[in-house]
Structure 1
């Protein structure tokens, strides 16, 4: 996924919280302390926002007359901005408050039951990732997936994520999440953070986004070689040819709607779903095969044109 405002954002959405009314009851649940750990000099935080989401649910149920969005901003989004240190963040860019509060509440109950397992998986994936590619301190903010977001449940293994800044990731989890996809997504998103850390301020194009996703998948596959993401099913030769033609035409555009069409696919053009991920992964793996001496850190920081030029897909950026 990617940095808000700088890169092409992958699926985001969703939210919830636990116990509390505006009357501040005596038995109000204290906010959970972030989970912290380290890999040598690199520090990590895992921050859950299940409580804030439950408070959103409880307040909506009280029928205060406020809109769901107003309640969400007050109970979830404002605390989120403080915890992420993104005070200027716009809710319109990253979140869509759910109106299905009963389903949200059930999701939180299930996620709470599995929190120990979730912690173990995230910690394991981060430590493995940091061992391969160390960097600066990172923070993972965990939120329940919006029950209206069937895409995450049905096609993402119950896990989705996006980069908020060069040191903050947001993960959105469904009770149906698959352990393997959680591991893989943590590693994938970690690489996005490291790519942003090594290329601060880089302006992204569609071609840059394609290679960025390819790098993240190549890295996650290095950490977890036996896990296959939903989008890694190989393309047919015909599909690959059409996808290459499409990204060659759009390569220097920074228009998000074209990038989103690559992700969704276009049957009229013979372009499969996840085309940006599929071709990006092939490009980066081709580069790595051709240049096995290049370290993970080196190709992580490389410009997309250099990666493509050193792969078997050099015609994408070749001059006509």
Structure 2
């Protein structure tokens, strides 16, 4: 073979390599420019950042994997959903225990309902972001903070009873894990007022965390007033918005029963003392979220009797002091 053959051979090779590199570069550029469907939205208020993350497409990815590997739901849910959430919401490797303790982070099994719910929520996503921003803006104006992140998940409507429960409460629940993050779980039937309320409620929890008021192993009274304060804050931010999660007690007798139980067990820290108020008690016909209801009523009395105390102060005021100054006990004398 002559020298011209080898020259032509190496020239062709070089052109092929250059073409491949060009294609790879274009593919990389396209991947970089392709928008992330779950890309976060950041709002700046009073010089602090509030970032909203959604996990709709992450859950759609989980659904695809779950169909192909129905015996490995935990694995793919962790990879697609809980790991990204944990890394954003907690520092470094922390957060795993909190997620494992939270039954809301159980992998959804009804994939059809999961997809249906996500589809509806994505259609309403612009409104959802707008309502969250509205509530944050009003909340920050009432009680400034160092900023926090909001993580939005669809409700697992495949769980028995959830569809009815979320219709009753307006389609939204939440949970604050620390001062840096709270979770919103939204049903397809999400109502504007319910979302405005729950954002203000959970925002108050993050400020309480920030100020060191929320700690592990709190007493029953302390935990009741954590919820009562958050509900009272939401009422302060939106006085005309009705709370579906803490309506008034249906009777004076029921309220007195709940108060008697709370008064007798106020210093208890074990879960078994808290569950009758949190989850309800069928034998005694106590409704669930009774802790929210009585906590809100105590705080209502406190604010009425102490209008000069600013939100910043009652947010961190010890539970026993709040109860005493509320004069709530006088209702039953």
Relative to the length of structure 1, the TM-score reads: 0.85
Cα pair distance change 1:272/1:147, threshold 3 Å:
closer
Q: Distance in 2 between matches of 1:315 and 1:306?
A: 15
TM-superposed CA distance for 1:30, in Å, is 3.2
- The answer to whether structure 1 residue 248 and structure 2 residue 253 are counterparts is no
Say whether the 8 Å CA contact 1:290–1:311 is kept in structure 2.
yes
Q: Summarize deviations over 1:191-213 as a string: whole Å, max 9, x none.
A: 11111211256341111111111
Q: Is the 8 A contact 2:113 2:158 kept in 1?
A: no
Q: Give the equivalent residue in structure 1 for 2:59.
A: 53
- Matched with 1:304 is 319
Deviates more, 1:283-292 or 1:27-36: 27-36
Match of 1:69 in 2: 74
Aligned to 1:127: 137
| Structure (1 or 2) with the larger CA radius of gyration | 2
Aligned to 1:12: none
Check if 1:209 corresponds to 2:234. no
- Distance of 1:135 and 1:313 partners within structure 2: 30
The aligned residue for residue 192 of structure 2 is 179
Deviation track 1:73-98 (CA, whole Å, cap 9, x = no partner) reads 12111111112235322342121111
Structure 1 81/272 Cα, relative in aligned 2: closer, same or farther at 3 Å?
Answer: closer
Whether the 8 Å contact between 2:63 and 2:111 is mirrored in structure 1 is: yes
- Superposed, 1:1-320 pairs within 5 Å as 30=36, 32-62=38-68, 64=69, 66-86=71-91, 87-90=93-96, 91-94=99-102, 95-149=105-159, 150-151=161-162, 152-199=165-212, 202-203=215-216, 204-230=218-244, 231-314=246-329
Quote the RMSD (CA, aligned, Å).
2.1
Give aligned pairs, total: 290
Conserved? CA contact 2:40–2:51, under 8 Å: yes
Contact 2:89–2:180 under 8 Å retained in 1: no
TM superposition shift of 1:49:
1.0
Contact 2:208/2:214 (8 A) holds in 1: no
CA distance in 1, matches of 2:116, 2:172: 17
Kindly indicate whether structure 1 or structure 2 has the higher relative contact order, using CA contacts under 8 Å at least 6 residues apart: 1
Scaled by the length of structure 2, the TM-score of the pair is: 0.81
The verdict on how the C-alpha distance between 1:240 and 1:41 changes in structure 2, with shifts beyond 3 A counting, is same
Q: Any conservation in 2 of the 1:242–1:270 contact (CA below 8 Å)? A: no
